[in-house]
Structure 1
Amino acid sequence: MKYIFIVQGEGRGHMTQAITLFNILTNNGHDVSHIIVGKSNRRALPSFFLEQINSPVTQLESPNFITDKNNRSVNVLRTFTSNVSKYRTFLNSVNHIDKIVKNEQPDAIINFYDFLGGLYFFIKRPDVKHFALAHQFLLNHNDFVFPKGRFYDKASLLAGNRLAAYGANKILALSFQPMKDEPNKKLHVVPPLLRDKIKVQQPQSKNHFLVYIVNHGYSKEVLDFHERHPNIPIHCFWDKKDEPAELKVDETLTFHQLDDIKFIKLMSSCKGYLTTAGFESVCEAMYMGKPVLMVPVEGHYEQACNAMDAKQAGAGVSSEFFDLEILLDYLPNHKEVGSEFRKWCDTSSDRFLEILI
């Protein structure tokens, strides 16, 4: 079969998922002829993505979250007004997708939770299969447990799910643990899409901690902790464009731009992992048996859901504060869940081929 991917450009997780699924499909004789990535003004497309994808890649303007002036929390009102004001830009992107699809004539489009993909199917109604893929779709499952309150945020996120999955023949919900499918919702629960680079690691536990901050405004908390505990080694990955590839504050604190090989190496040897509550890197930490502290981005309800889901699956602990002391206190109580999690993840290739072919 022939596929086109549409991939959300926010963060790192959707891109690494796309790389893994690209390899599963192409290694089994299928063709991914083109990849469309939603463009974010706040983030450059990581070089590791382009290096590992052997198909044409096109970046298009896509709806994105807007953060506050400190680049920390999601500003819901500005996100809405900014995206509405760019409707002509997004319409041009939809038209560009339509040209690519008509030129490539794929059998199916796989949308890694980019709203642009949903808009394309809503506006153009193409005669092509649509598979919608993301951890966010697990929120559609009847057994998913939501954080208490925040009913408006819940309704908004579920509405986002409907847009991203508009016209989908099948909805694939990535999950930390097995759950039953719900065919009446076209919902299939699938394992995380972890890359072979993760699976072949030989994890160790050295003295350093690994930190990943999607929004670089959280670097202040990292620096504050470092001032209190200057002897604890920390490697922190961030997205601050105007900084060098490696910013060495001193002997025990280094900030890194996203570097796939370096990130995996430091993950496999870290003592613990602190991150905002995205899905992918938490899965990578669980696979390597690393305790995790998850701090949902302020105002980002989806990450609050992720943190609760991951905590229930045994990943670690969650907090409102980006404070490594919380992780230090948690370490003696962490229970290893890596073995069962690895078994679930290792079924991914068969599971995805069963659903997508």
Structure 2
Amino acid sequence: MKIFYAVQATGNGHISRSMELLPYLQQYGEVDIFLSGDNSNLKLDAPITYRSKGLSLYYTCNGSLDYWKIARSINFLSLKQEIKQLPVEKYDLVINDYEYITAAACEAKKVPSVNFGHQASFQSMNVPRPEQKSKAGEWLLKKYARADRYIGLHFEPYDDFIVTPVIKKEILEATPTDEGHITVYLPSYCEPQLIEIFSGFKDHHFEIFSRESKEDRRVGNILFKPVSKAMFNKSMIHAHAIITGGGFETPSEAIHLGKKIMAIPIRGQYEQCCNAAALRKMGVMTLDKINDNFPEVFKQWMEDYKPIRRDYSQSIPLSMKKLFES
């Protein structure tokens, strides 16, 4: 079997998930990878057959999307050409983790595909949404990468085509401990803003993973670290608690490890607002934004909120079963 696997590289989560799934997919056939997007901090540790700048997300330094930079990065003529040239028709199975060019190529060439990933779960209205729904956000989640079949991943199996998150092997095999530090990953904030936010909590030590850092750098009670899979895994496994955005992979891993979480969605990213709604229902503290009340909120979180835990160890076998036996 020849398998085409489209991986979105607009963030680290899609790449992290693909590296875990690839060995299992290779048991079923020869896998060619299409990597699309250019603002991930992680490298895909596998041969890449097709590469595209694709459609990427960019951020400000204050917790929101940079819409102007996103718009400027889009080359419609190049996209049209890539859609035409992408050889999806040569494959027995096309797996798409929320990637637009692949979806458009399959639609144009009448090639069946499977949308397999977190965003696929939003085809179900059973998946939690924020009180204020976004029509544009709902359209993007449901129509941006259309497919013939959907296999979704989410914190809970909200529907019959949804399974629980794919967790990295290093996390599955880890023995969590509490060394007292708080692991922070807020990619839509820059280091000056992060220093302003966290330097006032003198009684707490923060390990902050920053897209700006090339090496470890200490600023008072903050240790800035470059985004690295191995270092982030180690920090999270031994953390007292996790502060992260409203993404999917990091909260999932923190939940599997039984760590206390604070989730702060990137403003303007509707999927993250939906994730926050789901986490809130599970008992996780979520914030719309960081403002002047943050010291009081942080204190409440430290004193009143408890970790939650789910066992996600069977997620990959369940995912493969749905993918190849349906």
Tell whether the structures are fold-level matches, with TM greater than 0.5.
yes
CA distance in 2, matches of 1:285, 1:195: 11
1:222 aligns with 2:214: no
CA distance in 2, matches of 1:94, 1:256: 38
1:75 is displaced (CA, Å) by: 4.5
| Residues 5 and 32, structure 1, Cα contact 8 Å, conserved in 2 | no
Q: Which runs of structure 2 are paired with 1:197-346 in the superposition (5 Å)?
A: 197-217=170-190, 219-240=191-212, 243-250=213-220, 252-314=221-283, 316-322=284-290, 323=294, 326-338=297-309, 341-342=310-311, 345-346=312-313
1:198-233 CA-partner distances (Å, limit 9, x unpaired): 11111011211100022243x344212343123421
| Residues 119 and 163, structure 1, Cα contact 8 Å, conserved in 2 | no
CA distance in 2, matches of 1:246, 1:125: 49
1:156 aligns with 2:136: yes
| Residues 75 and 299, structure 1, Cα contact 8 Å, conserved in 2 | no
User: Match for 1:309: what amino acid?
Assistant: A
| Residues 111 and 130, structure 1, Cα contact 8 Å, conserved in 2 | yes
| Residues 183 and 208, structure 2, Cα contact 8 Å, conserved in 1 | yes
Percent identity over paired residues? 19
| Residues 6 and 37, structure 1, Cα contact 8 Å, conserved in 2 | yes
**1:90 counterpart (79, 98, 101):** 79
CA RMSD of aligned residues (A): 2.4
CA distance in 1, matches of 2:199, 2:227: 24
1:71 is displaced (CA, Å) by: 6.3
| Residues 7 and 15, structure 2, Cα contact 8 Å, conserved in 1 | yes
CA distance in 2, matches of 1:238, 1:325: 25
Q: Please name the residue that 1:184 is paired with.
A: none
1:116 aligns with 2:111: no
CA distance in 1, matches of 2:198, 2:142: 42
Q: Please name the residue that 1:65 is paired with.
A: 57
1:119 is displaced (CA, Å) by: 1.9
1:133 aligns with 2:133: no
Q: Give structure 2 stretches of 5+ with no counterpart.
A: none
CA distance in 1, matches of 2:306, 2:72: 44
**1:74 counterpart (65, 68, 75):** 65
CA distance in 2, matches of 1:233, 1:57: 42
Q: Please name the residue that 1:38 is paired with.
A: 36
Residues 264 and 298 of structure 1: CA distance in aligned 2, closer, same or farther (over 3 Å): same
| Residues 173 and 189, structure 1, Cα contact 8 Å, conserved in 2 | yes
1:78 is displaced (CA, Å) by: 6.4
1:77 is displaced (CA, Å) by: 6.9
Q: Please name the residue that 1:185 is paired with.
A: none
1:75-123 CA-partner distances (Å, limit 9, x unpaired): 45764x446x51111123324422xx45xx3221111112222222233
1:125 is displaced (CA, Å) by: 2.8
Residues 121 and 159 of structure 1: CA distance in aligned 2, closer, same or farther (over 3 Å): farther
CA distance in 2, matches of 1:327, 1:97: 48
1:37 is displaced (CA, Å) by: 1.2
1:292-330 CA-partner distances (Å, limit 9, x unpaired): 11111112222111111122123x200123447634422
Q: Give structure 1 stretches of 5+ with no counterpart.
A: 182-187
CA distance in 1, matches of 2:171, 2:261: 16
CA distance in 2, matches of 1:247, 1:36: 35
